[in-house]
Structure 1
């Protein structure tokens, strides 16, 4: 079970064991052990093989990179590197490692170990699925002494620092028995079973031994069962219980929440009638009531979006669309635009998505109802996810429901990737939106490393995007973790999971 292949378990095998585990959990109350209920088993326990967030709760506590996301946000703080600097042309990034750090097998971590880990990801034969994203801008890596690592980039690229905070950028060394990679985190694997994973504390962790001696992750797919296990004291923490939270229950339970790194949105083909007219797009935007959508479809599982960037992200604009819903203004604007009631086809997906746990069809039909109140005539065409993507690529219909899960927590990953003119050809700018001023602002924000300046540039770009209305920003999911009040210092990450090195359990 310690080999990468065995980490990729078949769903049917897992589910067979899950209900046994759900009924046989040991008491979660042992002070030095934390029992943490997951919604699903990690797709992999190798950080370099990560393609989704299913393993974040476990992996965040086994592996670290040069830097990491701050607790509860997407700001950057030191991890294996104590400091770093960037050259004036933003093409040379120098990291200074903390001294006296070791991998969990006792091997010292030095600049050569970091270089070797990165070069394995630069090699196509050993690279993981996210390697080209994380290290795409890198031309070469060099070391200077035992504790200095230098990255040379092809071009200035400010988001690189957040690339290095991603799980696939964790500094690891191969296991001699071809098992899981060896990391530097606060915990180490103790037992990996079909529906539970046990970690034990790393006594040599760089910040000192964790308060907890053991963490037991158990998989309980049903949110109601996760909540029940928590309420009965069989687990200490339960992730993403969402709508399973009862109206009444144990008053002492604590719910930690943070918006996820994603966005659900309604997009218009800006190069096709009737949405080639900005006034028609603006009318549709004014007709959509995001709060009503969240209240009806995603209670306790999402927050309304007021812009394209999730709250807590650099450049998030807190007042961009706070008062966007205005049905009367939508009707007037649509009338002035000359819309004559021609039928609009709205393309959507049938599946549930991380940012839309209700499924695309339910969301699309609710949007149809809201748009109809402003005078739009809309029909829905729904497809399975992969077919839906192809339909959007060939511009079927007039508008589409879609979404995005961020990769590195940087605004560039949302705004440039999805709305820059250059991305029309790649297909990620499926609305075919183009504004040269927006392109200039987004390009500049890629090149400057001053975070305050980047924030100003991104807010200016978002104001222009909101005025052009290529999308209606709908919602962001909520990452949640319910826990007993005896659990202290638990902060949920936007990427899912939590850092557990400083988490402790107090007496009742």
Structure 2
């Protein structure tokens, strides 16, 4: 018998009779944290905002890390790498809804508003983001971008203080989404700033309709979309934290796509005659961050001991089964350039772990907390099992750890404040550049902003990242990143767990859905066959 949640039909989800040729229901893993994507980093939030409502100057071609035009038709980069001049697409319309009616088309003013809000402390919207701007802050963009200038209505120039190799790819990431300056001005004048996060307006393929917390997000196709109206008329994200229920619902036809199935279920799902399984080697890493701001985790010997204590081989088998993930060593997969094939992971050696704890003066009975989430996603398919395995292994070396489970939004908020000791996390590469795994997650700027959950700040590591970003020579950059990875390995601010594959389960009538190596789920090209 299915659970009550699983018995929800497509008609009840949509609030109308089903229209399979026009309405797409996607069973997804968690609620969005909000819809102002500049304030958030979670993939589920990006799926519900950056991949539906908003767009950027440039974008990645479907299923790849290749940059193609979006709201900018073309761009020029100065020979010294300090100026990026964009020619903006004309005729692009912002969404028209019952809460906003635009009076003009997209232009340079919207680009300036979208970036100055994040970069300029004097901008009237800068202090109105309760969570700040985690990407802009962790990547040090206020110190990188010296100016964003409007040359005319259809040309914008970014001037950098120093060359930054990944800058153009960075502009394809969610935080670089373009907002309506007109909408922002109206909200500020009406003292309704919160509405920007609750009722978003963009230029993307779908128009936000409504959000029912922890239940569903509804969108309608954008009839005025510059790239052509999507094939589906309605998109519904059905928030279904339990991966078992997601699979039940896609089997029953209550949703047409179920994202993030449990990897251990994939072999059986491949045998289902009425389902399709999509698979991709993605830029994913699963890890446990060790909060170096808390004693005794500030002692490298304690962090090394925890790495030695954890049985990664058993963890991977329990969480991912066979072939769905490979053991992690560094902060990004070895398929990405700049990896170091000579780098070795921490072996499972509880005896040596105990010795290190003794050397650090740690007596048996040390108490730590392990933080995780309910449900499951691609980097942590079964959070309960993973946390219990870590708890058991730590207990064997004399560390008593209690497990604390928080809903995703609360977990992220409290982790940013540094309340945790150990926390299970994951990261999806946003732009195909190694820097995207390192600077947002492990830099000193990211530690200051709270996005670096380890709170780890190493000056030598930071300087290597800075030099790598400033170089346009990929071989030079790769060598610098390999040096940085050696420091990461020795300092052990994470337990690097796994490089998971990405999966999605589809009904057989789904056409045009493409998994992205960057972990994004975009449904604008999906259509449903009769």
Q: Same fold, TM exceeding 0.5?
A: yes
Q: After superposition, give the CA deviation of every residue in 1:232-259 in whole Å (9 maximum; x if it has no partner).
A: 1222112223279484662342233555
C-alpha deviation, 1:496, in angstroms: 5.2
Structure 1 residue matching 2:44: 3-state secondary structure: coil
Hey, what does 2:28 align to over in structure 1? Answer: 38
Structure 1 residue matching 2:54: 3-state secondary structure: coil
Choose which of 48, 53, 56 in structure 2 pairs with 1:58.
Answer: 48
- Structure 2 distance, partners of 1:299, 1:460, is 32
C-alpha deviation, 1:378, in angstroms: 3.6
Say if 2:306 and 2:353, in contact at 8 Å, map to a contact too: no
Choose which of 210, 223, 247 in structure 2 pairs with 1:192.
Answer: 210
C-alpha deviation, 1:494, in angstroms: 6.1
Hey, what does 1:109 align to over in structure 2? Answer: 106
Structure 2 residue matching 1:140: 3-state secondary structure: strand
Hey, what does 1:24 align to over in structure 2? Answer: 12
Q: Does residue 168 of the first structure (1) align with residue 175 of the second (2)?
A: yes
Q: After superposition, give the CA deviation of every residue in 1:35-60 in whole Å (9 maximum; x if it has no partner).
A: 22233443434445546443333321
Hey, what does 1:83 align to over in structure 2? Answer: 74
Hey, what does 1:317 align to over in structure 2? Answer: 339
Choose which of 483, 499, 505 in structure 1 pairs with 2:506.
Answer: 483
TM-score, normalised via structure 2 length: 0.71
C-alpha deviation, 1:352, in angstroms: 1.9
For the aligned residues, what is the CA RMSD? 4.8
Alignment of 1:98-497 (within 5 A): 98-105=89-96, 107-121=104-118, 122=120, 124-127=123-126, 128=129, 129-131=131-133, 133-134=135-136, 136=142, 137-173=144-180, 174-175=182-183, 180-189=199-208, 191-192=209-210, 194=212, 195-242=215-262, 245=265, 247=268, 250-257=272-279, 259=282, 263-265=286-288, 267=290, 285=307, 288-297=310-319, 303-311=325-333, 315=337, 317=339, 319=341, 324=345, 326-327=347-348, 343=364, 345=366, 347-352=368-373, 355-356=379-380, 358-359=382-383, 363=386, 366-367=389-390, 369-370=392-393, 376-380=397-401, 400=422, 403=425, 405=427, 409=431, 411-416=434-439, 419=442, 428=452, 430=454, 434=458, 436=460, 438-451=461-474, 453-466=476-489, 469=492, 471-475=494-498, 480-493=503-516, 497=520
- Structure 1 distance, partners of 2:61, 2:211, is 30
- Structure 2 distance, partners of 1:435, 1:49, is 27
Choose which of 499, 505, 508 in structure 1 pairs with 2:528.
Answer: 505
- Structure 1 distance, partners of 2:417, 2:323, is 28
TM-score, normalised via structure 1 length: 0.73
Unaligned 5+ segments in structure 1 are: 1-15
Unaligned 5+ segments in structure 2 are: 97-101, 188-194
Are the structure 2 counterparts of residues 80 and 301 from structure 1 closer, same or farther at C-alpha, using a change threshold of 3 Å? farther
C-alpha deviation, 1:458, in angstroms: 1.7
More deviation, 266-275/339-348? 266-275
C-alpha deviation, 1:157, in angstroms: 3.9
Say if 1:268 and 1:281, in contact at 8 Å, map to a contact too: no
C-alpha deviation, 1:63, in angstroms: 1.4
Say if 1:158 and 1:447, in contact at 8 Å, map to a contact too: yes
Say if 1:57 and 1:498, in contact at 8 Å, map to a contact too: yes
Structure 2 residue matching 1:61: 3-state secondary structure: coil
- Structure 2 distance, partners of 1:431, 1:117, is 28
C-alpha deviation, 1:66, in angstroms: 0.8
For this pair of structures, how many residues does the alignment match? 480
Q: After superposition, give the CA deviation of every residue in 1:251-297 in whole Å (9 maximum; x if it has no partner).
A: 3422335557554136496999999677x976764664423213224
- Structure 1 distance, partners of 2:201, 2:5, is 27
C-alpha deviation, 1:228, in angstroms: 1.6
Say if 1:42 and 1:55, in contact at 8 Å, map to a contact too: yes
C-alpha deviation, 1:213, in angstroms: 3.5
- Structure 1 distance, partners of 2:424, 2:110, is 41
Say if 1:63 and 1:172, in contact at 8 Å, map to a contact too: yes
Are the structure 2 counterparts of residues 210 and 432 from structure 1 closer, same or farther at C-alpha, using a change threshold of 3 Å? closer
- Structure 1 distance, partners of 2:8, 2:388, is 39
Structure 2 residue matching 1:231: 3-state secondary structure: helix
- Structure 2 distance, partners of 1:231, 1:35, is 13
Are the structure 2 counterparts of residues 433 and 124 from structure 1 closer, same or farther at C-alpha, using a change threshold of 3 Å? closer
Are the structure 2 counterparts of residues 170 and 470 from structure 1 closer, same or farther at C-alpha, using a change threshold of 3 Å? closer
- Structure 2 distance, partners of 1:49, 1:336, is 40
